[in-house]
Structure formats: C-alpha cells, structure tokens
Amino acid sequence: MVDAGSTGSRIHVYRFHQCSDHEPVTLEDEELFAQTIPGLSAYPDHPEKAAESLDVLLNDAVKVVPEHLQRKTPIAVKATAGLRLLGQEKSENILKAVRHRLETKYPFPIVGGEDGVAIMDGRDEGVFAWITVNFLLGHFDRSDTHTAAILDLGGGSTQIVFEPDRLPDGRLPELPDNDFKYVLKHEGREYVLYQHSYLGYGLMEARKRMHQQILSHLPEDVSQEERDEIFHACLPQGLTWKYSKLAEPIHFKGLGAYDDCLGIADLILNKEKECELAPCSFNGIYQPRFGESFTQGPIYVFSYFYDRTQPLGLPASFRLPELAALTESICNGEFLENVTDIALRDEILDRPEWCLDLSFIYRLLSFGYEIPHTREITVAKKINGVETGWCLGAAIAILGDNSLKEEAH
C-alpha cells in the first residue's frame, strides 16, 4: 500500500493470515515501512519524475516480498490531499505516469481497477484510518467495548471519524442520510459512523491560512519598509523571519503572543460561517456534538498530532489543558529556556512555526471539534508496533475484494 501524501510518499508491506472467507483476518507482520520526501505533488509539471520518486520505495518492496509471491501480492497507490489540491489535469497526468511505471517496471498486480492508482476519497481516508486503529486495538473482536474515535492531521487535510453512542434503548443513532454518514459492514457487523475530511485544514494548509490572516489586515498601500516588519503573534518574540511564499517576500517580526495566536487559529476555523444543518463543528460543517454523542470510547489522534507534540514531551495520553499549557510555554519562550537537550533545542530554534502549529492543533481539537477538556486523548504513531493511519485499513478492505482472490489462486 503506497500512501502518496502531501509532504511525502510512504510504503507499507503487510503480511496477513486468512485461510477462508469466513475466517477473521489477522495481521502477521508489517514487513516494511519506508518513506521518501517530497511527495508526488512536488512534481506538478513533471509526471514521469513524480512516478520515478516512488522507485526507492518499490525497490525496497521487491527485496522484501519473496519472488514467488510477487505476482500474487497486490499493490495500490492512494494519493491524498496534496494531489487533490493540484487540480484535475495535473493530478491525472501524475497518476497515469505512476500506473504506467508500476505496470511496466514492477511485478505487483495493481488491485481495484481504476481505483488502484487514484486520489482517495476523503471519506475513505478517514474510515480506513478508523478501521486501522480499531483493528489494532482488537475492538472488532469484542462486542463489549466501544470503538475508538480517530482524528488524523495530514499536511493538506484533517479527518474525524467516530461511531456515535447507541441510544439508551440500544438502537443505532439517527444520522442524516448525507455524506457525513458512513455505514460500514465489517466481519458480519454493521457500524454507523460519522465522518468528515476537511480539505484545506491540514497542518501545512493551516499555516498558510494563519500567515494569510496576518497579511489580510495590512493596508493595500503598505510601504516596502512596513513590509519588512510585519508583526506576527505566532512567531517567537524578537525573531525576524523571511516569508518567501509570495510574489514579493516579506519579513515577519515575532511577538510570541499566546492568546493572540489562539485568536488567529480561531479565525481560520471560521466558526461564524452559516451552519445549514445544525449542529456544526467549524467552517459550517455538520457534526454531532462530540461531548454528547461520543461519551464511551477512547479518542486516538495521529500523524501531525504526533509529530508536533511528542518531541516536546507531551504525554502519550493527555487532556487538552496539558496541551494548552505546553502551547503557551512554547509561544512565550519559557519552554526553550528550560531545554537542556541540544538536539531538541536546535530543532525548536530551526522551526519557527512551533507556536503556530501547536496553537492550531490545540484550537482544532478544543474549539473546532469541541472535545471536552476532561476527556483523555491518546496520541499514537504506532499501536502494537504497527503504523496508525489509513493504510492498514485500506489493505484490510482490499482483502474483501473477490476479484483479488480469483487473481491470487
């Protein structure tokens, strides 16, 4: 399974055990996990180069999968938000080049027809991640535990998926019959899930939005001298930082102002947008109230939620006030003053957007999704040694593909 993400591409090679259709799938091992930077979307006008960027991963897979099984080992390439944001023509050219390279250079059969090398629907991305986490936690094997909610934060988008609590009489909750409702049939059971993928609210896109929010308050006739010193609440106090993602580069001057930075994050979450189908989370999107509709199961977050909190020592299980305190200490500089680890100190100094990233993450969870401050949140890169994210769930879904079984015999 190749995860063609917005900031890089990753490959997972899994070994499963299933002797018959009636037997539950068990995961024997994750034989390979490897990644490469940048992602396919870094080559918008060079589709062949995009396809070639996957060679380093596919060559590793050829070494790992026994030669006599290679033509029976299916492959799928699923692109996510980064490629979606390129537009249809450029993304299709890249996907065609990837498919051609797979078919002509590698032994693995592409599974799923046209969907075998494709941009993944945001609905599936979240639900596959939900399957991954609950599969690894063993929740599909037991009926006496509530499934976990999952929140994923990529570069281009963020996803939330959860199974709302059953009603007091044991009935499934009523969800509107629209894109937010996902009825999943898995190993003989039916799950009614709420899901949504917020395109444009991944961490890299959120950074752009927050910088743009600062710039949107500048007068049109701003002088060059003023462009060289634009105050930014979310950058470290006293730092002058060149922002070059504009036609004319500008310089931000950091203020390290925690409360003001949270305010900028709140603005981009767009809570004021009209909510056509209530209740809404943010940006006018329908979502059952999290604190009322999901009271039983655990909450798991991963991807950039992990990457931005764990190097700073946030516990693997935390509550939102702990994240708020960490964010404030990063923004006002106190955290850096007490860092003795030289590598961590260099990492913080080298990445001026730590305060911005953490402020967005904290407000996404607390203000956007409205997770209660009393709830425990678990951040996990791996569960039982296996990577979280959507890849394992997508692979498990492929195992239910009957056409694949016919090919494999």
Q: For residue 106, give the CATH number of its domain.
A: 3.30.420.40
Per the model's pLDDT, the better-predicted residue between 244 and 407 turns out to be 244
Q: How far apart are CA 51 and CA 323, in angstroms?
A: 39
In tens, the pLDDT along 188-199 reads 788 899 999 998
Token pair in block for residue 343: 């590598």
- Looking at the fold, whether 166 and 277 belong to one and the same domain comes out as yes
- State the catalytic residue, choosing from 23, 48, 67, 125: 125
- Looking at the fold, whether 358 and 291 belong to one and the same domain comes out as yes
pLDDT of 194: 95
pLDDT of 408: 38
Please give the average per-residue pLDDT across 165-193, as a whole number: 82
Please say if the pLDDT value at position 221 is more than 70.
no
- Looking at the fold, whether 271 and 345 belong to one and the same domain comes out as yes
Q: Clarify whether 125 is annotated catalytic.
A: yes
Report if residue 130 sits inside a domain: no
The Cα-based distances of 88 to 91, 218, 344, 396 in angstroms read 5, 33, 40, 28
Share of the chain above pLDDT 90, in %: 68
> pLDDT class for 409, splitting at 50, 70, 90?
very low
pLDDT of 405: 44
- Looking at the fold, whether 97 and 158 belong to one and the same domain comes out as no
pLDDT of 406: 39
pTM confidence score = 0.84
> Residue 241 class from Cβ within 10 Å (0-12 exposed, 13-18 middle, 19+ buried)?
middle
Please say if the pLDDT value at position 145 is more than 50.
yes
Share of the chain above pLDDT 70, in %: 95
Report if residue 314 sits inside a domain: yes
Report if residue 258 sits inside a domain: no
Please say if the pLDDT value at position 18 is more than 80.
no
Report if residue 228 sits inside a domain: no
Structural domain containing residue 38 = 2-120+390-408
- Looking at the fold, whether 187 and 100 belong to one and the same domain comes out as no
CATH number of residue 340's parent domain: 3.30.420.150
- Looking at the fold, whether 276 and 151 belong to one and the same domain comes out as yes
- Looking at the fold, whether 306 and 176 belong to one and the same domain comes out as yes
Report if residue 178 sits inside a domain: yes
> pLDDT class for 292, splitting at 50, 70, 90?
very high
Sign of CA dihedral 54, 45, 91, 85: positive
- Looking at the fold, whether 300 and 358 belong to one and the same domain comes out as yes
Q: How far apart are CA 92 and CA 404, in angstroms?
A: 25
Please give the average per-residue pLDDT across 200-208, as a whole number: 95
- Looking at the fold, whether 13 and 78 belong to one and the same domain comes out as yes
The Cα-based distances of 305 to 112, 193, 357 in angstroms read 31, 22, 10
- Looking at the fold, whether 110 and 197 belong to one and the same domain comes out as no
Please say if the pLDDT value at position 370 is more than 70.
yes
Report if residue 60 sits inside a domain: yes
The count of structural domains within the chain is 2
pLDDT of 174: 78
Please say if the pLDDT value at position 98 is more than 90.
yes
Report if residue 45 sits inside a domain: yes
Q: How far apart are CA 194 and CA 123, in angstroms?
A: 10
pLDDT of 224: 65
Q: How far apart are CA 253 and CA 19, in angstroms?
A: 62
- Looking at the fold, whether 41 and 177 belong to one and the same domain comes out as no
> pLDDT class for 6, splitting at 50, 70, 90?
confident
Instruction: Return mean pLDDT, the chain.
Output: 90
- Looking at the fold, whether 365 and 330 belong to one and the same domain comes out as yes
In tens, the pLDDT along 268-278 reads 999 999 999 99
Q: How far apart are CA 148 and CA 158, in angstroms?
A: 17
Please give the average per-residue pLDDT across 127-131, as a whole number: 93
> pLDDT class for 61, splitting at 50, 70, 90?
very high
Q: How far apart are CA 224 and CA 133, in angstroms?
A: 51
Report if residue 301 sits inside a domain: yes
Please say if the pLDDT value at position 249 is more than 90.
no
